[in-house]
């Protein structure tokens, strides 16, 4: 969006509420899940239709355009998830949609768009190159170019994620991944007035919004990253303006931390996230809060990438759980164990018993207990 236009557009919390009313007929509320080992709630947008929150903004934009009587063809550029959301929304409303995606987009995302019947054009190596081409096509053909993030209807639609989080778990801080800034802007609009802190997450070397918020709008090619969904060179102008007012902080995550978080999510929480989907949780360990919620924004990861990560990345063992001072300790295992004494492992030094307090693992388990 042109910076001059962006400065005139108003998006508010009531636009997010209006989006919620529009979307209710089409989309279910996604689950929130407490990830105990991370000490953080997760908003599971990987379980959203098309595997990411993006369908919210795309569908809201199409429905709002219909209300305004705007029946132009819609074209959009996307790293993949916005295109999938757009394709699904257009399919549900029975209208055509054209999407331009970079050639580097994951196969699963390209296949997802084609599955819902949208036209896919692969162009350029990055999201920003695909965007420039979509802009050209829109100008030549009179299509409506719908931004993946810098659009008031898209932002309002993404904000419904925040309303659902507030209804589910009353957070004090919400962590959101940032690419162009649409999700973070919408969630902040939805939650800021309720006193919730909003913290954005970006990847090292893929931090255009963080730099823009510090006044640096220079265009730097983003580094290669597992988080293809947030690999944006030029962040939004409308989103920058909103985030300047509403965002409390941005945490920059290292690529290795992101990979480890993605693998831990899969192995410990049984949640499949894509790179950008694991980003907010990866940032969460640097953020204090009593009721933290991280948005797991998407789960569209290529099978080969996931397989490689699961076989290559060895997460560090988690820290021992801290016990709260006033928490009641469980009864000692010896007085609770209902098994006959003969079956209990001996308690000498050779066979220390695992307890919640020590967290030791007794690999030397007596034969009779394994039978």
Contact 284, 294 (CB under 8 A): yes
- Tokens coding 317: 């063992």
Contact 20, 14 (CB under 8 A): no
Q: Is the dihedral of CA 259, 264, 267, 273 positive or negative?
A: negative
Minimum gap (Å) between residue 246 Cβ and ligand PLP: 13
Which residues would be at the binding site for ligand PLP (CB under 6 A)?
52, 54, 79, 81-82, 148-149, 177-184, 229-230, 274, 276-277, 297-298
Residue closer to ligand PLP, measured from CB, 108 or 290: 108
Q: How far apart are CA 358 and CA 155, in angstroms?
A: 48
Tokens 């995606």: give the residue.
101
Minimum gap (Å) between residue 133 Cβ and ligand PLP: 17
Supply φ then ψ for residue 293, to 5 degrees.
-135, 130
**Nearest in space to 44 (alpha carbons), one of 346, 305, 274, 259:** 274
Instruction: Give 4's DSSP letter.
Output: H
Contact 149, 181 (CB under 8 A): yes
The number of beta carbons lying within 10 Å of the beta carbon of residue 205 is 15
Residue closer to ligand PLP, measured from CB, 74 or 350: 74
The number of beta carbons lying within 10 Å of the beta carbon of residue 330 is 10
Minimum gap (Å) between residue 29 Cβ and ligand PLP: 18
Minimum gap (Å) between residue 73 Cβ and ligand PLP: 22
Minimum gap (Å) between residue 256 Cβ and ligand PLP: 19
Minimum gap (Å) between residue 260 Cβ and ligand PLP: 18
Active site (annotated) includes residue 54: yes
Active site (annotated) includes residue 297: yes
Residue closer to ligand PLP, measured from CB, 81 or 126: 81
SS3 at position 199: strand
Residue closer to ligand PLP, measured from CB, 124 or 277: 277
Residue closer to ligand PLP, measured from CB, 207 or 274: 274
- Annotated catalytic residue: which of 54, 109, 131, 192? 54
Largest Cα span, the chain? 84
Tokens 């819609």: give the residue.
74
Straight-line distance from the first to the last Cα atom of the chain, in angstroms, rounded to the nearest whole number = 68
Minimum gap (Å) between residue 158 Cβ and ligand PLP: 6
Q: How far apart are CA 270 and CA 278, in angstroms?
A: 13
Q: How far apart are CA 137 and CA 129, in angstroms?
A: 13
Length of the chain: 371
Please report which helix (H) or strand (E) contains residue 200, including its range: strand 197-203
Q: How far apart are CA 153 and CA 57, in angstroms?
A: 6
What are the residue numbers of the active site? 54, 297
């Amino acid at each position: 969006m042109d910076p001059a236009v962006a400065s005139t557009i108003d998006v508010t919390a009531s636009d997010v509420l209006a989006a919620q009313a529009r979307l209710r007929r089409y989309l279910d509320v996604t689950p929130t899940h407490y990830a105990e080992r991370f000490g953080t709630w997760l908003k599971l947008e990987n379980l959203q239709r098309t595997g990411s929150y993006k369908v919210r903004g795309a569908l809201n934009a199409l429905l709002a355009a219909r209300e305004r009587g705007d029946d132009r063809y819609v074209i959009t550029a996307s790293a993949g998830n916005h295109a999938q959301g757009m394709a699904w929304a257009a399919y549900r409303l029975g209208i055509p949609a054209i999407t331009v995606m970079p050639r580097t987009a994951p196969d699963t995302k390209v296949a997802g768009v084609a599955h819902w019947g949208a036209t896919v054009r692969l162009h350029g190596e990055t999201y920003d190159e695909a965007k420039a081409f979509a802009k050209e096509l829109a100008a030549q053909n009179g299509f409506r170019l719908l931004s993946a993030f810098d659009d008031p209807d898209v932002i309002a639609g993404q904000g419904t994620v925040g309303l659902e989080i507030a209804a589910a778990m009353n957070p004090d801080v919400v962590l959101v991944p940032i690419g162009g800034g649409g999700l973070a802007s919408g969630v902040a609009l939805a939650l800021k007035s309720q006193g919730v802190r909003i913290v954005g997450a970006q990847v090292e070397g893929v931090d255009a919004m963080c730099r823009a918020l510090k006044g640096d709008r220079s265009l730097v090619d983003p580094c290669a990253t597992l988080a293809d969904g947030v690999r944006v060179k030029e962040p939004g102008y409308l989103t920058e303006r909103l985030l300047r007012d509403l965002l409390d902080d941005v945490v920059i995550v290292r690529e290795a931390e992101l990979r480890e978080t993605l693998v831990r999510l899969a192995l410990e929480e049984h949640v499949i996230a894509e790179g950008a989907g694991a980003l907010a949780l990866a940032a969460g360990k640097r953020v204090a809060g009593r009721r933290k919620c991280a948005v797991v924004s998407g789960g569209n990861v290529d099978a080969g990438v996931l397989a490689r990560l699961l076989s290559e990345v060895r997460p560090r063992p988690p820290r021992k759980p801290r016990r709260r001072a006033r928490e009641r300790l469980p009864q000692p295992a010896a007085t609770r164990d209902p098994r006959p004494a003969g079956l209990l492992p001996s308690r000498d030094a050779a066979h220390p018993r695992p307890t919640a307090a020590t967290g030791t693992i007794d690999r030397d388990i007596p034969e009779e207990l394994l039978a």
